[in-house]
Structure 1
Amino acid sequence: MNRYNCFDVIFNNHIAQIILNRPEKRNSMTTDFWNEFPEIISKINEDGDIRVIILSSTGPHFCSGLDLSLFQSDLLKINQEQQSKPILLTNYIEILQKALNILQDSRIPVIAAIQGACIGGGLDLVCASDIRLGTKDCHFSILETKLGLVADIGTFPRLVKLIPDGLVRELAFTGRNFNSEEAKLSGFLNDVYPNQKNMLKAAFELAKEISANSPTVVYGCKEAIKFSRDHTTEEGLNWIKMWNSSMFN
Protein backbone atom coordinates (compact mmCIF):
# COMPACT_ATOMS: atom_id res chain seq x y z
CA MET A 1 0.00 0.00 0.00
CA ASN A 2 1.13 3.59 -0.66
CA ARG A 3 2.89 5.76 1.91
CA TYR A 4 0.64 8.39 3.45
CA ASN A 5 1.16 11.74 5.16
CA CYS A 6 -1.46 11.30 7.88
CA PHE A 7 -1.49 7.54 8.39
CA ASP A 8 0.59 4.44 8.86
CA VAL A 9 -1.08 1.22 7.72
CA ILE A 10 0.06 -2.18 9.01
CA PHE A 11 -1.22 -5.59 7.88
CA ASN A 12 -0.88 -8.69 10.03
CA ASN A 13 -2.88 -11.95 10.18
CA HIS A 14 -6.09 -10.69 8.51
CA ILE A 15 -5.98 -7.44 10.54
CA ALA A 16 -5.34 -3.95 9.13
CA GLN A 17 -4.24 -1.34 11.65
CA ILE A 18 -4.77 2.24 10.49
CA ILE A 19 -2.75 4.63 12.65
CA LEU A 20 -3.18 8.41 12.70
CA ASN A 21 0.46 9.55 12.75
CA ARG A 22 0.56 13.31 13.39
CA PRO A 23 0.82 13.46 17.22
CA GLU A 24 2.55 16.86 17.11
CA LYS A 25 -0.69 18.26 15.63
CA ARG A 26 -2.94 16.13 17.85
CA ASN A 27 -3.82 14.11 14.74
CA SER A 28 -5.99 16.89 13.35
CA MET A 29 -7.82 16.31 10.08
CA THR A 30 -6.00 18.12 7.26
CA THR A 31 -6.62 18.07 3.51
CA ASP A 32 -4.33 15.03 3.31
CA PHE A 33 -6.49 13.26 5.89
CA TRP A 34 -9.68 13.75 3.88
CA ASN A 35 -7.99 12.60 0.67
CA GLU A 36 -6.09 9.65 2.13
CA PHE A 37 -8.63 8.13 4.50
CA PRO A 38 -11.28 7.07 1.94
CA GLU A 39 -8.52 5.77 -0.34
CA ILE A 40 -7.13 3.58 2.46
CA ILE A 41 -10.53 2.17 3.41
CA SER A 42 -11.40 1.48 -0.24
CA LYS A 43 -8.15 -0.43 -0.80
CA ILE A 44 -8.63 -2.45 2.39
CA ASN A 45 -12.19 -3.31 1.34
CA GLU A 46 -10.81 -4.66 -1.93
CA ASP A 47 -8.29 -6.85 -0.09
CA GLY A 48 -10.01 -10.17 0.48
CA ASP A 49 -7.46 -11.15 3.13
CA ILE A 50 -8.41 -8.41 5.63
CA ARG A 51 -11.16 -9.29 8.11
CA VAL A 52 -10.87 -6.58 10.81
CA ILE A 53 -9.73 -2.95 10.91
CA ILE A 54 -8.22 -1.41 14.05
CA LEU A 55 -8.28 2.38 14.00
CA SER A 56 -5.75 3.90 16.42
CA SER A 57 -3.44 6.88 16.74
CA THR A 58 -0.09 8.06 18.06
CA GLY A 59 0.63 10.49 20.87
CA PRO A 60 -1.44 11.46 23.90
CA HIS A 61 -4.59 12.33 21.91
CA PHE A 62 -6.62 10.31 19.43
CA CYS A 63 -7.84 13.18 17.24
CA SER A 64 -8.50 16.89 17.75
CA GLY A 65 -10.92 17.09 14.83
CA LEU A 66 -10.90 19.23 11.71
CA ASP A 67 -7.77 21.34 11.25
CA LEU A 68 -9.12 24.83 11.96
CA SER A 69 -6.62 26.58 9.68
CA LEU A 70 -7.82 24.37 6.82
CA PHE A 71 -11.47 25.09 7.62
CA GLN A 72 -10.89 28.85 7.82
CA SER A 73 -8.94 28.85 4.55
CA ASP A 74 -11.58 26.82 2.72
CA LEU A 75 -14.39 28.93 4.15
CA LEU A 76 -12.64 32.12 3.03
CA LYS A 77 -12.45 30.80 -0.54
CA ILE A 78 -16.12 29.81 -0.48
CA ASN A 79 -17.17 33.21 0.91
CA GLN A 80 -15.52 34.93 -2.04
CA GLU A 81 -18.00 33.25 -4.39
CA GLN A 82 -21.17 35.00 -3.28
CA GLN A 83 -23.55 33.67 -5.94
CA SER A 84 -22.47 30.04 -5.67
CA LYS A 85 -21.63 30.11 -1.96
CA PRO A 86 -24.53 27.85 -0.79
CA ILE A 87 -23.76 25.22 -3.43
CA LEU A 88 -20.01 25.29 -2.76
CA LEU A 89 -20.54 24.98 0.99
CA THR A 90 -22.99 22.10 0.52
CA ASN A 91 -20.51 20.30 -1.74
CA TYR A 92 -17.69 20.90 0.75
CA ILE A 93 -19.66 19.39 3.64
CA GLU A 94 -20.72 16.46 1.47
CA ILE A 95 -17.09 15.60 0.64
CA LEU A 96 -16.25 15.39 4.35
CA GLN A 97 -19.38 13.36 5.11
CA LYS A 98 -18.62 10.84 2.35
CA ALA A 99 -15.06 10.40 3.62
CA LEU A 100 -16.45 9.02 6.90
CA ASN A 101 -19.46 7.23 5.40
CA ILE A 102 -17.04 4.87 3.68
CA LEU A 103 -15.91 3.64 7.11
CA GLN A 104 -19.44 2.90 8.30
CA ASP A 105 -20.25 1.20 4.99
CA SER A 106 -17.11 -0.95 4.97
CA ARG A 107 -17.79 -4.69 4.81
CA ILE A 108 -15.11 -5.10 7.49
CA PRO A 109 -15.73 -4.60 11.24
CA VAL A 110 -13.91 -1.54 12.60
CA ILE A 111 -12.53 -1.32 16.15
CA ALA A 112 -11.62 2.21 17.27
CA ALA A 113 -8.97 2.39 20.02
CA ILE A 114 -9.19 5.85 21.59
CA GLN A 115 -6.87 7.66 24.00
CA GLY A 116 -6.93 11.24 25.26
CA ALA A 117 -9.00 13.81 23.40
CA CYS A 118 -11.41 12.73 20.68
CA ILE A 119 -13.33 15.82 19.70
CA GLY A 120 -15.23 17.34 16.79
CA GLY A 121 -14.44 15.38 13.64
CA GLY A 122 -12.62 12.80 15.75
CA LEU A 123 -15.92 11.99 17.44
CA ASP A 124 -17.55 11.69 14.00
CA LEU A 125 -14.82 9.23 13.02
CA VAL A 126 -15.29 6.87 15.95
CA CYS A 127 -19.09 7.09 15.71
CA ALA A 128 -18.71 5.50 12.26
CA SER A 129 -16.80 2.57 13.79
CA ASP A 130 -18.44 -0.65 14.96
CA ILE A 131 -16.72 -1.11 18.32
CA ARG A 132 -15.10 1.55 20.52
CA LEU A 133 -12.46 0.92 23.19
CA GLY A 134 -11.02 3.73 25.28
CA THR A 135 -8.36 4.55 27.83
CA LYS A 136 -9.28 5.88 31.25
CA ASP A 137 -8.16 9.38 30.22
CA CYS A 138 -10.10 9.52 26.95
CA HIS A 139 -12.81 12.11 26.54
CA PHE A 140 -15.15 13.30 23.82
CA SER A 141 -16.79 16.57 22.88
CA ILE A 142 -19.13 18.00 20.26
CA LEU A 143 -16.78 20.96 20.12
CA GLU A 144 -18.50 22.49 17.10
CA THR A 145 -21.13 23.99 19.43
CA LYS A 146 -18.51 26.11 21.20
CA LEU A 147 -17.14 27.20 17.81
CA GLY A 148 -20.54 28.47 16.69
CA LEU A 149 -21.28 25.58 14.34
CA VAL A 150 -23.78 22.73 14.11
CA ALA A 151 -21.85 19.45 13.85
CA ASP A 152 -22.42 18.34 10.26
CA ILE A 153 -20.01 15.52 9.35
CA GLY A 154 -21.92 12.70 11.04
CA THR A 155 -22.20 13.21 14.80
CA PHE A 156 -25.96 13.51 15.18
CA PRO A 157 -27.23 10.86 12.72
CA ARG A 158 -24.93 8.29 14.35
CA LEU A 159 -24.62 9.36 17.98
CA VAL A 160 -28.41 9.34 18.54
CA LYS A 161 -28.33 5.63 17.68
CA LEU A 162 -25.48 4.89 20.10
CA ILE A 163 -26.42 6.68 23.34
CA PRO A 164 -29.67 7.98 24.92
CA ASP A 165 -31.39 10.87 23.16
CA GLY A 166 -31.37 13.12 26.21
CA LEU A 167 -27.62 12.70 26.65
CA VAL A 168 -26.99 13.56 22.99
CA ARG A 169 -29.00 16.75 23.46
CA GLU A 170 -27.09 17.71 26.59
CA LEU A 171 -23.71 17.13 24.93
CA ALA A 172 -24.80 19.00 21.80
CA PHE A 173 -26.31 21.99 23.59
CA THR A 174 -23.37 22.43 25.99
CA GLY A 175 -20.35 21.18 24.02
CA ARG A 176 -19.01 19.82 27.31
CA ASN A 177 -16.54 16.95 27.71
CA PHE A 178 -17.90 13.41 27.90
CA ASN A 179 -15.42 11.28 29.89
CA SER A 180 -14.58 7.58 29.67
CA GLU A 181 -16.70 6.60 32.68
CA GLU A 182 -19.78 8.31 31.29
CA ALA A 183 -19.07 6.90 27.83
CA LYS A 184 -18.85 3.35 29.20
CA LEU A 185 -22.01 3.70 31.30
CA SER A 186 -23.96 5.04 28.31
CA GLY A 187 -22.80 2.19 26.07
CA PHE A 188 -20.72 4.39 23.78
CA LEU A 189 -17.51 2.62 24.80
CA ASN A 190 -17.43 -1.17 24.89
CA ASP A 191 -14.67 -1.13 27.50
CA VAL A 192 -12.13 1.13 29.24
CA TYR A 193 -8.44 0.38 29.94
CA PRO A 194 -5.82 2.00 32.19
CA ASN A 195 -3.51 2.92 29.30
CA GLN A 196 -3.04 2.74 25.54
CA LYS A 197 -0.81 -0.35 25.69
CA ASN A 198 -3.47 -2.41 27.47
CA MET A 199 -6.17 -1.04 25.19
CA LEU A 200 -4.33 -1.97 21.99
CA LYS A 201 -3.59 -5.43 23.36
CA ALA A 202 -7.32 -5.91 23.98
CA ALA A 203 -8.15 -4.50 20.53
CA PHE A 204 -5.90 -7.05 18.82
CA GLU A 205 -7.24 -9.91 20.92
CA LEU A 206 -10.78 -8.94 19.96
CA ALA A 207 -9.78 -8.55 16.31
CA LYS A 208 -8.22 -12.03 16.29
CA GLU A 209 -11.39 -13.51 17.77
CA ILE A 210 -13.52 -11.81 15.09
CA SER A 211 -11.15 -12.77 12.26
CA ALA A 212 -11.41 -16.45 13.24
CA ASN A 213 -15.02 -16.43 12.02
CA SER A 214 -16.26 -16.56 8.43
CA PRO A 215 -15.79 -13.08 6.89
CA THR A 216 -19.00 -13.55 4.91
CA VAL A 217 -20.97 -14.31 8.07
CA VAL A 218 -19.42 -11.37 9.94
CA TYR A 219 -20.24 -9.09 7.01
CA GLY A 220 -23.80 -10.44 7.03
CA CYS A 221 -24.08 -9.73 10.76
CA LYS A 222 -22.83 -6.17 10.26
CA GLU A 223 -25.33 -5.52 7.48
CA ALA A 224 -28.18 -7.16 9.42
CA ILE A 225 -27.47 -5.01 12.49
CA LYS A 226 -27.32 -1.84 10.41
CA PHE A 227 -30.54 -2.66 8.55
CA SER A 228 -32.40 -3.72 11.71
CA ARG A 229 -31.36 -0.55 13.54
CA ASP A 230 -33.08 1.61 10.91
CA HIS A 231 -36.17 -0.55 10.27
CA THR A 232 -38.97 -2.33 12.11
CA THR A 233 -38.49 -5.77 13.65
CA GLU A 234 -40.59 -7.33 10.90
CA GLU A 235 -38.56 -5.64 8.17
CA GLY A 236 -35.34 -6.75 9.86
CA LEU A 237 -36.51 -10.35 10.07
CA ASN A 238 -37.48 -10.34 6.40
CA TRP A 239 -34.09 -8.91 5.42
CA ILE A 240 -32.19 -11.56 7.40
CA LYS A 241 -34.42 -14.29 5.95
CA MET A 242 -33.58 -13.16 2.41
CA TRP A 243 -29.86 -12.85 3.21
CA ASN A 244 -29.57 -16.38 4.58
CA SER A 245 -31.71 -17.80 1.78
CA SER A 246 -29.41 -16.24 -0.82
CA MET A 247 -26.33 -17.61 0.97
CA PHE A 248 -27.59 -21.18 0.63
CA ASN A 249 -28.89 -20.79 -2.90
Structure 2
Amino acid sequence: MSEHQWKAFTVAIADGIAEVTLIGPGKGNVMGPDFWNELPAVFAELDRDDAVRAVVLAGSGKNFTFGLDLPGMAGDLGPVLAPDAKAAVRTRFHDLILRMQSGVNAVADCRKPVVAAIWGWCIGGGVDLITAADFRYASADAKFSVREVKVAMVADMGTLARLPGIIGDGHFRELALTGRDIDAARAERIGLVNDVYDDAEATLAAARAAAAEIAANPPLVVHGIKQVLDRARSAAVNDSLRFVAAWNAAFLPSNDLSEAVTAVFEKRKPNFTGE
Protein backbone atom coordinates (compact mmCIF):
# COMPACT_ATOMS: atom_id res chain seq x y z
CA MET A 1 0.00 0.00 0.00
CA SER A 2 1.34 3.43 -0.88
CA GLU A 3 2.60 5.71 1.86
CA HIS A 4 -0.30 8.03 2.53
CA GLN A 5 -1.17 10.32 5.40
CA TRP A 6 -4.90 9.94 5.83
CA LYS A 7 -6.87 12.48 7.87
CA ALA A 8 -9.67 10.20 9.07
CA PHE A 9 -7.78 6.89 9.37
CA THR A 10 -4.53 5.24 10.24
CA VAL A 11 -3.53 2.16 8.26
CA ALA A 12 -0.88 -0.29 9.43
CA ILE A 13 0.07 -3.48 7.59
CA ALA A 14 2.00 -6.41 9.06
CA ASP A 15 2.02 -10.17 8.49
CA GLY A 16 -0.71 -10.00 5.87
CA ILE A 17 -3.11 -8.04 8.08
CA ALA A 18 -4.11 -4.41 7.62
CA GLU A 19 -5.42 -2.54 10.64
CA VAL A 20 -7.63 0.38 9.68
CA THR A 21 -8.40 2.68 12.61
CA LEU A 22 -10.90 5.53 12.63
CA ILE A 23 -9.33 8.73 13.97
CA GLY A 24 -12.06 11.18 13.08
CA PRO A 25 -12.32 14.51 14.87
CA GLY A 26 -13.36 14.57 18.51
CA LYS A 27 -13.66 11.79 21.04
CA GLY A 28 -16.21 9.90 18.95
CA ASN A 29 -14.41 9.50 15.60
CA VAL A 30 -17.30 11.20 13.84
CA MET A 31 -17.81 10.68 10.13
CA GLY A 32 -17.20 14.01 8.45
CA PRO A 33 -16.07 15.07 4.97
CA ASP A 34 -12.57 13.59 5.36
CA PHE A 35 -14.03 10.22 6.35
CA TRP A 36 -16.36 10.01 3.37
CA ASN A 37 -13.70 11.26 0.94
CA GLU A 38 -11.05 8.82 2.14
CA LEU A 39 -12.97 5.63 2.93
CA PRO A 40 -13.32 4.39 -0.68
CA ALA A 41 -9.67 5.17 -1.43
CA VAL A 42 -8.42 3.35 1.69
CA PHE A 43 -10.27 0.14 0.87
CA ALA A 44 -9.54 0.34 -2.84
CA GLU A 45 -5.84 0.39 -2.01
CA LEU A 46 -6.20 -2.50 0.44
CA ASP A 47 -8.11 -4.48 -2.18
CA ARG A 48 -5.25 -4.02 -4.65
CA ASP A 49 -2.43 -4.69 -2.19
CA ASP A 50 -1.15 -8.28 -2.53
CA ALA A 51 0.52 -7.96 0.88
CA VAL A 52 -2.90 -7.72 2.53
CA ARG A 53 -4.95 -10.85 3.14
CA ALA A 54 -7.35 -9.63 5.85
CA VAL A 55 -8.41 -6.36 7.44
CA VAL A 56 -9.18 -5.38 11.03
CA LEU A 57 -11.42 -2.30 11.34
CA ALA A 58 -11.57 -0.47 14.68
CA GLY A 59 -12.04 2.92 16.28
CA SER A 60 -9.51 4.92 18.23
CA GLY A 61 -9.98 6.04 21.82
CA LYS A 62 -13.00 4.90 23.81
CA ASN A 63 -15.53 4.60 20.97
CA PHE A 64 -15.94 3.12 17.51
CA THR A 65 -17.82 6.14 16.14
CA PHE A 66 -20.59 8.53 17.09
CA GLY A 67 -21.71 8.37 13.45
CA LEU A 68 -22.37 11.16 10.96
CA ASP A 69 -20.76 14.50 11.77
CA LEU A 70 -23.87 16.65 11.39
CA PRO A 71 -22.11 19.97 12.05
CA GLY A 72 -19.26 18.98 9.75
CA MET A 73 -21.65 17.97 6.97
CA ALA A 74 -23.89 21.03 7.40
CA GLY A 75 -22.38 22.62 4.31
CA ASP A 76 -23.57 19.68 2.23
CA LEU A 77 -26.98 19.48 3.86
CA GLY A 78 -27.67 23.23 3.92
CA PRO A 79 -28.51 23.78 0.22
CA VAL A 80 -30.96 20.88 0.02
CA LEU A 81 -32.76 22.13 3.14
CA ALA A 82 -33.43 25.50 1.59
CA PRO A 83 -37.17 26.07 0.97
CA ASP A 84 -36.53 26.83 -2.71
CA ALA A 85 -34.27 23.81 -3.39
CA LYS A 86 -35.01 22.69 -6.92
CA ALA A 87 -33.94 19.82 -9.18
CA ALA A 88 -30.30 20.86 -9.60
CA VAL A 89 -29.73 21.04 -5.84
CA ARG A 90 -31.48 17.74 -5.26
CA THR A 91 -29.50 16.12 -8.07
CA ARG A 92 -26.23 17.22 -6.46
CA PHE A 93 -27.48 15.86 -3.14
CA HIS A 94 -28.35 12.56 -4.82
CA ASP A 95 -24.81 12.43 -6.23
CA LEU A 96 -23.42 13.11 -2.74
CA ILE A 97 -25.39 10.19 -1.28
CA LEU A 98 -24.09 7.88 -4.00
CA ARG A 99 -20.49 9.02 -3.37
CA MET A 100 -20.87 8.41 0.36
CA GLN A 101 -22.41 5.00 -0.30
CA SER A 102 -19.39 4.11 -2.44
CA GLY A 103 -17.18 4.23 0.66
CA VAL A 104 -19.22 1.74 2.65
CA ASN A 105 -19.60 -0.36 -0.51
CA ALA A 106 -15.80 -0.43 -0.81
CA VAL A 107 -15.64 -2.11 2.60
CA ALA A 108 -18.29 -4.67 1.65
CA ASP A 109 -16.76 -5.32 -1.77
CA CYS A 110 -13.17 -5.59 -0.58
CA ARG A 111 -11.82 -9.02 -1.56
CA LYS A 112 -9.87 -9.11 1.69
CA PRO A 113 -12.20 -10.16 4.55
CA VAL A 114 -12.92 -7.39 7.05
CA VAL A 115 -13.28 -8.06 10.79
CA ALA A 116 -14.78 -5.20 12.81
CA ALA A 117 -13.69 -4.70 16.43
CA ILE A 118 -16.13 -2.48 18.31
CA TRP A 119 -15.97 -0.92 21.75
CA GLY A 120 -17.84 2.06 23.15
CA TRP A 121 -20.48 3.70 21.00
CA CYS A 122 -21.30 2.61 17.44
CA ILE A 123 -24.04 4.94 16.23
CA GLY A 124 -25.82 5.56 12.94
CA GLY A 125 -23.21 5.57 10.20
CA GLY A 126 -21.08 3.34 12.40
CA VAL A 127 -23.72 0.61 12.06
CA ASP A 128 -23.69 1.17 8.29
CA LEU A 129 -19.94 0.60 8.39
CA ILE A 130 -19.85 -2.53 10.55
CA THR A 131 -22.64 -4.20 8.58
CA ALA A 132 -20.32 -3.94 5.56
CA ALA A 133 -17.69 -5.98 7.44
CA ASP A 134 -17.67 -9.76 7.12
CA PHE A 135 -18.17 -10.27 10.85
CA ARG A 136 -17.97 -8.35 14.09
CA TYR A 137 -16.60 -8.67 17.62
CA ALA A 138 -17.52 -6.34 20.48
CA SER A 139 -16.37 -5.45 23.96
CA ALA A 140 -18.76 -5.66 26.88
CA ASP A 141 -19.07 -1.86 26.98
CA ALA A 142 -20.15 -1.55 23.32
CA LYS A 143 -23.46 0.12 22.52
CA PHE A 144 -25.19 0.23 19.15
CA SER A 145 -27.93 2.43 17.70
CA VAL A 146 -29.54 2.78 14.29
CA ARG A 147 -29.97 6.42 15.24
CA GLU A 148 -31.00 8.03 11.94
CA VAL A 149 -34.72 8.01 12.74
CA LYS A 150 -33.95 10.19 15.79
CA VAL A 151 -32.50 12.88 13.52
CA ALA A 152 -35.28 12.76 10.89
CA MET A 153 -33.28 10.74 8.38
CA VAL A 154 -33.80 7.48 6.52
CA ALA A 155 -30.53 5.57 6.89
CA ASP A 156 -29.03 5.54 3.41
CA MET A 157 -25.46 4.18 3.72
CA GLY A 158 -26.35 0.47 3.83
CA THR A 159 -27.89 -0.42 7.19
CA LEU A 160 -31.37 -0.83 5.71
CA ALA A 161 -29.94 -3.04 2.97
CA ARG A 162 -27.51 -5.22 4.93
CA LEU A 163 -28.65 -5.41 8.56
CA PRO A 164 -31.81 -7.53 7.99
CA GLY A 165 -29.64 -10.31 6.57
CA ILE A 166 -27.48 -10.21 9.70
CA ILE A 167 -30.02 -10.01 12.53
CA GLY A 168 -33.36 -10.89 10.92
CA ASP A 169 -36.31 -8.73 9.93
CA GLY A 170 -38.03 -8.40 13.31
CA HIS A 171 -34.99 -7.30 15.29
CA PHE A 172 -33.97 -5.04 12.45
CA ARG A 173 -37.32 -3.26 12.21
CA GLU A 174 -37.36 -2.73 15.97
CA LEU A 175 -33.96 -1.03 15.92
CA ALA A 176 -34.58 1.01 12.76
CA LEU A 177 -38.03 2.27 13.78
CA THR A 178 -37.26 3.06 17.44
CA GLY A 179 -33.67 4.28 17.13
CA ARG A 180 -33.08 2.77 20.57
CA ASP A 181 -29.69 1.86 21.98
CA ILE A 182 -28.74 -1.76 22.58
CA ASP A 183 -25.83 -3.13 24.57
CA ALA A 184 -23.27 -5.73 23.57
CA ALA A 185 -25.17 -8.58 25.22
CA ARG A 186 -28.30 -7.84 23.15
CA ALA A 187 -26.17 -7.38 20.04
CA GLU A 188 -24.70 -10.84 20.55
CA ARG A 189 -28.10 -12.44 21.18
CA ILE A 190 -29.54 -11.13 17.92
CA GLY A 191 -26.42 -11.93 15.90
CA LEU A 192 -25.12 -8.43 15.24
CA VAL A 193 -21.79 -9.45 16.78
CA ASN A 194 -20.27 -12.93 16.88
CA ASP A 195 -18.69 -12.69 20.34
CA VAL A 196 -18.33 -10.27 23.24
CA TYR A 197 -15.07 -9.75 25.13
CA ASP A 198 -14.23 -8.12 28.44
CA ASP A 199 -12.64 -4.95 27.10
CA ALA A 200 -11.24 -3.17 24.06
CA GLU A 201 -7.86 -4.88 24.29
CA ALA A 202 -9.38 -8.36 24.31
CA THR A 203 -11.73 -7.43 21.47
CA LEU A 204 -8.91 -6.17 19.29
CA ALA A 205 -6.81 -9.24 20.11
CA ALA A 206 -9.68 -11.52 19.04
CA ALA A 207 -10.13 -9.60 15.78
CA ARG A 208 -6.41 -9.82 15.07
CA ALA A 209 -6.41 -13.55 15.80
CA ALA A 210 -9.35 -14.15 13.45
CA ALA A 211 -7.68 -12.05 10.76
CA ALA A 212 -4.49 -14.09 11.18
CA GLU A 213 -6.46 -17.32 10.70
CA ILE A 214 -7.94 -15.92 7.50
CA ALA A 215 -4.54 -14.66 6.31
CA ALA A 216 -3.09 -18.16 6.69
CA ASN A 217 -5.61 -19.59 4.24
CA PRO A 218 -5.10 -19.64 0.43
CA PRO A 219 -5.96 -16.08 -0.68
CA LEU A 220 -7.62 -16.98 -3.98
CA VAL A 221 -9.94 -19.40 -2.20
CA VAL A 222 -10.77 -16.76 0.42
CA HIS A 223 -11.57 -14.32 -2.41
CA GLY A 224 -13.73 -16.97 -4.05
CA ILE A 225 -15.69 -17.63 -0.87
CA LYS A 226 -16.42 -13.91 -0.51
CA GLN A 227 -17.52 -13.61 -4.13
CA VAL A 228 -19.86 -16.59 -3.92
CA LEU A 229 -21.36 -15.46 -0.61
CA ASP A 230 -21.81 -11.88 -1.81
CA ARG A 231 -23.38 -12.79 -5.14
CA ALA A 232 -26.69 -13.87 -3.64
CA ARG A 233 -27.24 -10.60 -1.81
CA SER A 234 -25.44 -8.02 -3.97
CA ALA A 235 -28.33 -7.36 -6.36
CA ALA A 236 -30.78 -6.76 -3.50
CA VAL A 237 -28.31 -4.54 -1.63
CA ASN A 238 -27.53 -2.47 -4.73
CA ASP A 239 -31.23 -2.05 -5.53
CA SER A 240 -31.94 -0.92 -1.97
CA LEU A 241 -29.08 1.59 -2.01
CA ARG A 242 -30.21 3.11 -5.32
CA PHE A 243 -33.80 3.35 -4.08
CA VAL A 244 -32.96 5.02 -0.75
CA ALA A 245 -30.61 7.48 -2.50
CA ALA A 246 -33.45 8.55 -4.79
CA TRP A 247 -35.96 8.59 -1.90
CA ASN A 248 -33.76 10.79 0.28
CA ALA A 249 -32.92 13.16 -2.57
CA ALA A 250 -36.67 13.68 -3.02
CA PHE A 251 -38.06 13.47 0.51
CA LEU A 252 -35.29 13.87 3.10
CA PRO A 253 -35.48 17.69 3.17
CA SER A 254 -38.08 18.60 5.78
CA ASN A 255 -38.80 20.92 8.66
CA ASP A 256 -38.09 17.97 10.95
CA LEU A 257 -34.59 17.54 9.50
CA SER A 258 -33.91 21.26 9.89
CA GLU A 259 -35.14 20.98 13.47
CA ALA A 260 -32.88 17.96 14.09
CA VAL A 261 -29.79 19.78 12.79
CA THR A 262 -30.66 22.92 14.77
CA ALA A 263 -31.19 20.86 17.92
CA VAL A 264 -27.72 19.31 17.52
CA PHE A 265 -26.13 22.74 17.31
CA GLU A 266 -28.19 24.02 20.26
CA LYS A 267 -27.62 20.80 22.26
CA ARG A 268 -31.29 20.23 23.00
CA LYS A 269 -33.98 17.65 22.29
CA PRO A 270 -35.68 18.18 18.90
CA ASN A 271 -39.41 18.79 18.55
CA PHE A 272 -40.70 16.97 15.47
CA THR A 273 -43.94 18.05 13.82
CA GLY A 274 -44.14 15.78 10.77
CA GLU A 275 -43.66 18.57 8.27
TM-score for both structures, normalised by structure 1: 0.89
Instruction: Map 1:1-249; keep pairs closer than 5 Å.
Output: 1-22=3-24, 24-79=26-81, 81-229=85-233
Give the Å deviation of 1:186: 1.1
1:20 is matched by which residue type in structure 2? L
Partner Cα distance (2:96, 2:209) in 1: 38
CA contact (8 A) 2:27 2:63 kept: no
Secondary structure class of the residue paired with 1:64 = coil
- CA 1:86 to 1:77, structure 2 compared with 1: closer, same or farther past 3 Å? closer
Partner Cα distance (1:197, 1:181) in 2: 18
Q: Which runs of 4+ in 1 moved over 3 A?
A: 78-81, 228-231
- In the alignment, structure 1 segments of 5+ residues that lack a partner are 232-249
Give the Å deviation of 1:221: 0.8
CA contact (8 A) 1:127 1:158 kept: yes
Identity %: 39
**How many pairs are equivalent?**
231
1:89 is matched by which residue type in structure 2? F
Give the Å deviation of 1:95: 1.0
2:203 is matched by which residue type in structure 1? M
2:58 is matched by which residue type in structure 1? S
- In the alignment, structure 2 segments of 5+ residues that lack a partner are 236-275
TM-score for both structures, normalised by structure 2: 0.80
Partner Cα distance (1:90, 1:109) in 2: 29
Partner Cα distance (2:225, 2:11) in 1: 26
Give the Å deviation of 1:73: 2.0
Q: CA RMSD in A?
A: 1.5
CA contact (8 A) 1:79 1:85 kept: no
Partner Cα distance (1:210, 1:37) in 2: 23
1:244 is aligned to none
CA shift digits 1:55-98 (9 cap, x unpaired): 01111110111101123221113345534122122111111111
Secondary structure class of the residue paired with 1:68 = coil
CA contact (8 A) 2:24 2:35 kept: no
Partner Cα distance (2:221, 2:12) in 1: 24
1:70 is matched by which residue type in structure 2? G
